[in-house]
Amino acid sequence: MPFEPWLPGMIVTEERLASISPTWQDWVPVWTTSSGANTPSFSNASVSARFAQSALKVSFRMEIAFGSTTNFGGGGSGDNWRFSLPVAAAGAALCVGYGEISDSSAGLGSRMGVRVRLTTTTTMEIEMASARIDAAAVSGVGLIDAVSPWTWATSDTIRVFGEYEAAA
């Protein structure tokens, strides 16, 4: 049910309460690139994505552990990864969430902090926001792609969470 603001004289109904009471539900993010070329695919990756909407506030979390048959797209540093949103946003935003990414080949020290950015009203991109905790060098800066901050591989992970304003 889409959000409808409360107005004087409205009656509390099951439908109205459902529209303001967040219920967590699954969503399957679509993985694309900023150019639309070199499209990646999850294949046997483990993807867990959930969201809850209360009025115009959307809360989300997305966890991905890439699998042995994941196709990372190979678009290079100029073709950033995009993930679809569960609900269209009111507008683009520079920061709607945080998380971490990790390079499994380098052990526990390979994690680094990231920010979630809404680059369109229907997609999010993930931006490197810190150095790796083991201080190892990474390639590129800015938004992640198939080769930034490292060449992605099996068991590498993305974990993000956040909230944004839904389109009215």
Extents of the domains making up the chain? 29-46+56-165
Least confident of 43-57, 77-91, 134-148: 134-148
In the predicted structure, residue 1 carries a pLDDT above the cut 60:
no
Per cent of the chain over pLDDT 70 is 96
- Residues 19-59: tens digit of each pLDDT: 667 789 999 999 999 998 889 999 999 999 999 998 889 99
Three-state secondary structure along the chain? CCCCCCCCCCCCCHHHHHHHCCCCEECCCCEEECCCCCCCECCCCEEEEEEEEECCEEEEEEEEECCCCCECCCCCCCCCEEEECCCCECCCEEEEEEEEEECHHHCHHHCEEEEEEECCCCEEEEEEEEEECCCCCCCCCCECECCECCCCCCCCEEEEEEEEEECC
pLDDT of residue 62: 98
- Residues 54-83: tens digit of each pLDDT: 888 999 999 999 999 999 997 777 789 999
Whether the predicted model's global pTM rises above the 0.95 cut: no
Tokens found for residue 7: 């107005």
* Residue 3 banded pLDDT, cuts 50, 70, 90: low
pLDDT of residue 133: 86
